[in-house]
Every structure is written in structure tokens, then in C-alpha cells.
Structure 1
Amino acid sequence: MNFSMTENGFTGDLPFGELTISGQEGHGFRPFQLLISSLAVCSGGVMRKVMDKMRMPADDIQIEVKEVVRIEEEANRVAKVHLHFTLKGNIDESKMPRVMELTKKNCSMVRSVEGSIEVIETYELI
């Protein structure tokens, strides 16, 4: 990955295209949005794989970021993220505690922020 400075932030030259990043609203993705997106989508991808291996593939997984807590006095750092998964399909609810445990254990992004960002993961089946 390579990043180049622009007038309002940086652009990243990535395999799937250019990514515009800026700390200023309206000039690109904000760094904290990319961090939260990485946590959410990594968890969702791991959850999908875990459910497939348990022979209960999801027809759909939606991820809602219910809460992001930032601490202004500490450079506005992200302290807490609540991810809520809405799952659709023929899913055995009795297996969901294990699915959630394995998801958190095997998501590299969640594991990378362990000890600095509290990541709460909840779910509902529809």
C-alpha cells in the first residue's frame, strides 16, 4: 500500500482502487470510520465462515454499529464499539454463543485492538 498527501488528506493506491482519507468531514473517509469498518467487516466475515463450518450458513448478515465511544481528552481515541449482527437463515440459536465466541477469537482486527478498544458484539436472528 502507498499513500500520498493531497490538499485535504491522503489518497491510498490499493489493489481495488483509490481510497481517499481525510480527517476533515466531506473530503474522504475519516480514519475512525475505516477503523470501525475494519472491525465490523472482519467480524462479519469470520462469523460467516464459522457458521458455514457449523453447517448453518446465513442467508444474510447485516451489521449495525450501534455505538462508538470516543474520548475527547485522549486525542478523541475510540474506546468502545458495539457491533450488532442481524442474521437471517436456518440458524440453530443454541449454537450462537459458540459462534459469537469463535468470531471474537478469530477476527484479526478485533484481536489487534484488544486491551485498548472494548468491542461488544450482539446478535439477533430473523
Structure 2
Amino acid sequence: MIFEMTENGFVTSTSFGKLEVSSDEAYGFRPYQLLVSSIAVCSGGVLRKILDKKRMPAKHISIEVREVKRNPEIADRVEKIHLHFLIDGIQAKETVMDKVMELTSNNCSMVQSVAGSIEIVKTYELQN
């Protein structure tokens, strides 16, 4: 990837399209939004695969970012992200889901990339 400077940020072209990044969200995605999105969507994709492998495919998964804690004393560093998964269409015992959530964290490359730097909290709710 090559990022080129623009008047209000940077832009790159991907096989999917143009990605504009800026500290002002009027001109593109803010860097912390991309970080949080990467962690959330990677986790959701891994969760989906694990549920499929356990023969418990979800009809639908929504991921709500409930909290992003940033530290203004240290360059607005992201210190905590709380993801809440709304999972529709499966029935599972809490012990099974606790293990699924642990496997999700252990197998998500984005979560593992920030392990020890950012606290990632994952909660879930089963909806039927």
C-alpha cells in the first residue's frame, strides 16, 4: 500500500476502492476508527468461523462498540475497546459461548497484534 498526502489527510487505493484517512472525519476515516474497526470485524469474522465449525452457524451477528477508552495524557492512545456481540439464531450454553469467545480472541490476528497494549473486552448476547 502507498498512502499519498492530500490537502486534508492521506489516501490509498485498494482492490476494493479508495481509502481516505484524515484526523478530521469530514475528510475520511480517523485512524483510531480504522483500528477499532479492524479489531471488531476481525473478531466477528473469527467468531463466525468458530460457530460454523462447531455446527452452530449464526443467522446474523452485529458488533456494537460500547466503549473506546483513550488516554489524552499519552497522545490519545487507545487503551480499551469493549465489543458487544449480538448473535442471532443459535442456542448455546454459557460455558460453550465463553470458550467460543476465548477462541475468538486467541485466533483474531488484530486482537493478538495489540495484546498487552490495548484491553479488549468482549461480551455477547444470544438472540433468538
Please tell me whether residue 67 in structure 1 is matched to residue 67 in structure 2.
yes
Superposed, which structure 2 residues align to 1:8-27 within 5 Å?
Answer: 8-27=8-27
1: CA distance, partners of 2:90 / 2:71: 40
Gaps of 5+ in 1: none
Please tell me whether residue 98 in structure 1 is matched to residue 99 in structure 2.
yes
Superposed, which structure 2 residues align to 1:40-59 within 5 Å?
Answer: 40-59=40-59
Are the aligned partners of 1:58 and 1:91 in contact in 2 as well (CA < 8 Å)?
no
1: CA distance, partners of 2:23 / 2:29: 8
Deviation for aligned residue 1:97: 1.0
Code of the aligned partner of 1:27: Y
1: CA distance, partners of 2:77 / 2:115: 14
What CA RMSD, in Å, does the superposition of the two structures yield over aligned residues? 0.8
Gaps of 5+ in 2: none
2: CA distance, partners of 1:90 / 1:45: 16
Number of the residue aligned with 2:108: 107
Moved segments of 4+, more than 4 Å: none
Number of the residue aligned with 1:86: 86
Deviation for aligned residue 1:25: 2.7
Deviation for aligned residue 1:93: 2.5
Are the aligned partners of 1:23 and 1:30 in contact in 2 as well (CA < 8 Å)?
yes
Are the aligned partners of 1:10 and 1:21 in contact in 2 as well (CA < 8 Å)?
yes
2: CA distance, partners of 1:44 / 1:101: 13
Please tell me whether residue 35 in structure 1 is matched to residue 35 in structure 2.
yes
1: CA distance, partners of 2:122 / 2:90: 21
Are the aligned partners of 1:63 and 1:83 in contact in 2 as well (CA < 8 Å)?
yes
Are the aligned partners of 1:2 and 1:14 in contact in 2 as well (CA < 8 Å)?
no
TM-score by length of 2: 0.96
Are the aligned partners of 2:9 and 2:20 in contact in 1 as well (CA < 8 Å)?
yes
2: CA distance, partners of 1:24 / 1:45: 29
| Equivalences, count | 126
SS at match of 1:102: helix
